[in-house]
């Protein structure tokens, strides 16, 4: 398991278009997001005894009951807070951004046991999730207007291992009117694991 510091950095590029200020949810939100990620990994990898399963069910149902009383519109939810690694969302692992230019991003990511497909490899469907987020950040970064993913083409070049430090990069290839073509790649050491090309279309007036 990686340590907390290695799970993310504050100031990641946009996950939500309108990020919340840092006080929403209080000071424990970053650790909660991290604990949920670790829970996903440990739960996936466990042969938990029935008594533990029963107790987990009891406690999770308690939280669900509490949370049902705090449901809010999208722009008020605490997931999306700007200062929390990965914006506190747990659909994809935290992207650690090491280099950021107006037209490109580079960094590291680590898929935990939660993302296991088979034989130590990351589930194939998790890779496009990563690329959509990564390429979308490049598309909507650099002061450019928001755009939506029109297509995302992923080539799986080599098995992507779980529990391994991976490197990624993504860059804007060209812009043609409302179209932005972005490419990215994912590497394990010297091995190219996957590469992707996405087309992002900037929104027209009135589109959201
Ligand atoms: C908005 C658009 C992508 C494009 O529709 P419109 O605005 O009506 O534009 P129009 O159709 O006129 O196309 C313009 C030009 O582009 C071309 N072209 C278009 N598509 C393709 C293609 N697949 N392949 C190739 N080319 C394609 C098209 O031929 C045309 O080319 P032309 O000028 O003749 O040379 C629409 O299809 C849509 O919403 N799709 C669902 C998107 C979605 O759910 N994504 C999933 C995630 S949501 C997200 O990212 C998060 C988010 C949410 C909110 C904000 C920000 C981020």
Which residue's alpha carbon is at the smallest distance from atom 48 of ligand 1? 148
**pLDDT for res 23:** 77
Which residue's alpha carbon is at the smallest distance from atom 51 of ligand 1? 148
Residues 189 and 107 in one domain: yes
Residues 54 and 109 in one domain: no
Residues composing the chain = 208
Residues 105 and 196 in one domain: yes
One pLDDT digit (tens) per residue for the chain, 208 residues: 332 222 333 334 444 344 566 678 999 999 999 999 999 999 999 999 999 999 999 999 999 999 999 999 988 899 988 788 888 999 999 999 999 999 999 999 999 999 999 999 999 999 999 999 999 999 999 999 999 999 999 999 999 999 999 999 999 999 999 999 999 999 999 999 999 999 999 998 888 7
Residue with tokens 């990994």: 41
Ligand 1 center–CA 204 separation, angstroms: 10
Last residue of a domain, one of 15, 48, 76: 76
Which residue's alpha carbon is at the smallest distance from atom 37 of ligand 1? 150
Ligand 1 center–CA 200 separation, angstroms: 7
**pLDDT for res 85:** 86
Residues 111 and 54 in one domain: no
Q: For residues 88 and 101, what is the distance between their CA atoms, to the nearest angstrom?
A: 24
**pLDDT for res 172:** 98
**pLDDT for res 19:** 57
Task: Give the chain's domain count.
Answer: 2
Residues 112 and 182 in one domain: yes
> Would residue 86 count as lying in a domain?
no
> Would residue 193 count as lying in a domain?
yes
Question: What pTM value is reported for the model?
Answer: 0.90
Q: What share of the chain is helix, strand, coil (3-state, %, to 5)?
A: 30, 30, 40
> Would residue 111 count as lying in a domain?
yes
Residue with tokens 């993913």: 149
Query: Residue 98 is part of which domain span?
Result: 92-202
Q: Is the CB of 77 under 6 A from ligand 1?
A: no
CATH number at residue 164: 3.10.129.10
Residues 50 and 122 in one domain: no
Last residue of a domain, one of 24, 43, 76: 76
């Amino acid at each position: 398991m990686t340590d907390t510091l290695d799970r993310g950095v504050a100031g990641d590029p946009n996950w939500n278009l309108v990020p919340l200020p840092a006080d929403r949810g209080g000071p424990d939100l970053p650790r909660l997001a991290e604990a949920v990620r670790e829970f996903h990994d440990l739960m996936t990898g466990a042969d938990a005894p029935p008594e533990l399963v029963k107790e987990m069910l009891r406690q999770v149902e308690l939280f669900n009951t509490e949370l049902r009383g705090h449901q809010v519109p999208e722009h008020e939810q605490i997931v999306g807070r700007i200062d929390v690694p990965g914006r506190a969302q747990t659909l994809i692992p935290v992207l650690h951004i090491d280099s950021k230019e107006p037209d490109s991003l580079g960094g590291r990511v680590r898929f935990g046991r939660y993302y296991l497909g088979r034989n130590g490899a990351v589930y194939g469907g998790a890779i496009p999730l990563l690329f959509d987020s990564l390429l979308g950040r490049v598309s909507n970064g650099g002061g450019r207007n928001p755009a939506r993913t029109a297509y995302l083409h992923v080539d799986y070049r080599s098995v992507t291992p779980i529990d391994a430090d991976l490197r990624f990069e993504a860059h804007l290839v060209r812009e043609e009117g409302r179209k932005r073509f972005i490419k990215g790649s994912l590497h394990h050491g010297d091995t190219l694991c996957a590469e992707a090309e996405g087309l992002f279309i900037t929104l027209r007036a009135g589109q959201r």
